[in-house]
Amino acid sequence: MHRPPAGLLIQGLRGVGKTTLARGFLQWLQATDGLGKGCFWLTFQDIRSAEFVINRTGEAFFGPQFITAEMGAKLDALAKVFRENRFLIVWDNFGVVRGIPGTAVAATLSDEDQALLKTFLAKLRGGQTKVIITSRSDEAWLEFTNRYEIPLGGLQGEERWDYCKVILRDLGLTIDRKDADLVTLMDLLGGHPLAMRVILPRLAKLKAAALIQALQSNLTALGPSGDPAQDKLFATLHFAEQSLPDELRPLLVPLALHERFVDADYLEIMAKQVDPSWTRAPIDRFLGALAVAGLLNDRG
């Protein structure tokens, strides 16, 4: 927080806890009177222009007339406020701005809009306000003068075993840290929270050795991508897919059309367009199985 770059980039794989870390940090700052004058939280999955980012932020200080000003004047006015006063800005899920090569994540902002956000960060350099950025990418295009990278890997040491206990506690299972197979399985999962939530509950029915064999088989079947950590995550997710009953797997297709949220009512309507025999009961079982695996959270 005391480094000159305005941007603090929390970088890591999907599901590793980037947004959770940012949210927890803000809560800690608020509880310890360290948040300054306030916080702005912007989720870039819902944003299609840099001007939206600038306008929504500027309106908080200058009112609705701010949006009518020329962009250069907007940037200068905002930079002055943020450099002189301590605020915290969160740019969550920032990876979609430029897109992620080799994936289905396409850029949501134009080259001009990307340059505008980069300019905004440059103007905040050395000031009191910081911008926390969460992304799967290293966002090298922002340059090191505008963002300091904080790589977020999996849980380590005792934290890894503590989280294992939390996951298995609801199943009534105890762990034996002297079990060589369990130690190997934990190392294979790499402390990734999502991978642990998907795999460890399977210990209720399978031995650690069997889970290791299944994961290694998936790694071989999927092939290397050049990123071992990502390969392990994909192998874990593939295991979750294989764990679904055969009759429920077709529902993965309409589920893949959703981002962030899925409504069971809508999913039922979509399924019935393909086959009128689909009912709500199997859809609820499908969503429930993914929730148990840690891939969905029931929002009621």
Tell me the DSSP string of 60-119. HHH-GGGGGS-HHHHHHHHHHHHHHS--EEEEETGGGTT--TTSS----S-HHHHHHHHH
Residues 192 and 165 in one domain: yes
The total of other beta-carbon atoms located within 10 Å of residue 281's CB is 9
Q: How far apart are CA 181 and CA 183, in angstroms?
A: 5
Q: According to the model, what pLDDT value does residue 162 have? A: 94
Strand segments, DSSP code E, in the chain are: 7-11, 39-43, 88-92, 130-135, 147-151
Examine residue 2 and state whether it is found in any structural domain, yes or no.
no
Domain boundary among 151, 168, 197: 151
Q: Give the integer Cα–Cα distance in Å for 95 and 106.
A: 9
Considering only the C-alpha atoms of the chain, give the largest distance between any 2 of them, rounded to a whole number of Å. 66
Query: Do 73 and 172 belong together in one domain?
Result: no
Residue at a domain's end among 151, 177, 195: 151
In the three-class reduction of DSSP (H, G, I as helix; E, B as strand; rest coil), residue 150 is classed as strand
Alpha-carbon distance 195 to 192, whole Å? 5
Are 54 and 71 in contact by the 8 Å Cβ rule? The answer is yes
| Phi-psi sector, 11: left (phi>0), alpha (psi -120 to 50), beta | beta
Whole-prediction pTM: 0.76
Tokens in use for 187? Answer: 């190392």
Mind listing the pLDDT tens digit of every residue in the chain (300 residues)? 999 999 999 999 888 889 999 999 999 999 999 899 999 999 998 899 999 999 999 999 999 999 999 999 999 999 999 999 999 999 999 999 998 766 666 899 999 999 999 999 999 999 999 999 999 889 999 999 999 999 998 899 999 999 999 988 878 888 889 999 999 999 999 898 888 888 898 898 889 999 999 888 888 887 777 778 778 888 888 888 888 899 999 999 999 888 889 999 999 999 999 999 999 999 999 999 888 777 888 887
| Number of domains forming the structure of the chain | 2
Q: Are strands 147-151 and 88-92 parallel, antiparallel or unpaired?
A: unpaired
Residue 71 sits in which domain range? 7-151
Residues 172 and 146 in one domain: no
pLDDT given for residue 101 in this prediction:
66
CA dist., res. 147 & res. 132, Å (int): 9
Residue 26 lies in a domain: yes
